Amino acid sequence: MPLSATRQARLENGLPKIEITLPEVGVQVAPETYFDGTHSDFWLEIGFGKGEHLAALAAAHPEIGMIGSEPFLNGVSGLVDLVVEGNLPNVRVFKDDARLLMDSLPEASIGRAFILFPDPWPKARHHKRRMVSAGNIAVLSRILKDGAELRIGTDHMEYCRWIMAHMLASADFVWQCDNPADWRNRPDDWPSSRYEIKSREAGRVSSYLRFIRRPRSL
Ligand SMILES: C[S@@+](CC[C@H](N)C(=O)[O-])C[C@H]1O[C@@H](n2cnc3c(N)ncnc32)[C@H](O)[C@@H]1O
């Protein structure tokens, strides 16, 4: 759906102040380059939808530089509105495929990453489009710092099994789980996203998966 004239104007005014543009392919850029030098760490959200989760974290953690990637223009517009309304100077947006952004980030440069309710692509012939894949897990492993947390949420049972199988197959990540409550309940510091709320209202059950990037030296 095209943006209304008002939203288009707000996007054109707000986006250039927070938009990330990438260097040429093959060149890596440290995340601090995109901020003003006052942030202690940098977190990355892949596919932020309309940005509720990202904006809530940015408000709760002004010390963190929050980077979000989302190719859906309506979603980018939603986040730009939240950034303006919430006066959030610590948000940057890449309005394209997160894989391009991740490729441009240096090794061990991101302190936390989020993939919330990624498109499940339920048909087998579309599984190769899934964001959680061996290739993307390897990229996340490269850009995440030692001990960094990767959070993945989903309400799709089969994709959840796929995510677990792929994550547990990686030697670089450890699942943070002592008991079922650890994945059945959304942690207090994990703000809701639009998709999660819609899913809950529709009566679906979500899984909240947390993985830690193993230290490289061990
Ligand atoms: C089901 S929606 C979930 C949105 C949001 N995370 C939420 O929980 O409300 C999945 C999102 O992933 C985005 N997405 C899909 N492929 C992507 C990619 N390659 N890079 C970044 N975002 C992507 C879609 O545009 C969509 O907004």
Q: What is the pLDDT of residue 117?
A: 98
User: 82: which residues sit within 8 A by CB, 6+ positions away?
Assistant: 50, 51, 52, 55, 88
Q: What is the CATH number of the domain that holds 65?
A: 3.40.50.150
What residues pair up with 199 in beta bridges, in sequence order? none
Examine residue 218 and state whether it is found in any structural domain, yes or no.
no
| C-alpha 108 chain-centroid distance | 16
Tell me the pTM: 0.97
> What is the model's pLDDT at position 1?
78
Residue 46 lies in a domain: yes
Q: What is the pLDDT of residue 218?
A: 58
Residue 124 maps to a domain: yes
Q: How far is CA 203 from the centre of its chain?
A: 24
Known catalytic residues are: 119
Asked whether 71 lines ligand 1 (CB < 6 A), one says yes
Range of 31's domain? 5-213
For 87-135, the pLDDT digits (tens) are 999 999 999 999 999 999 999 999 999 999 999 999 999 999 999 999 9
CA–centroid distance, 95 to ligand 1, in Å, is: 11
The CA–CA distances, whole Å, from 11 to 22, 59, 95, 136, 171 equal: 19, 20, 12, 30, 41
Q: How many CA atoms lie within 13 A of 178 on its CB side?
A: 0
Pocket flag, ligand 1, residue 114 (CB < 6 Å): no
> Please, what is the average pLDDT of the chain?
96
Tokens 């599984």 belong to residue: 127
Number of domains in the chain: 1
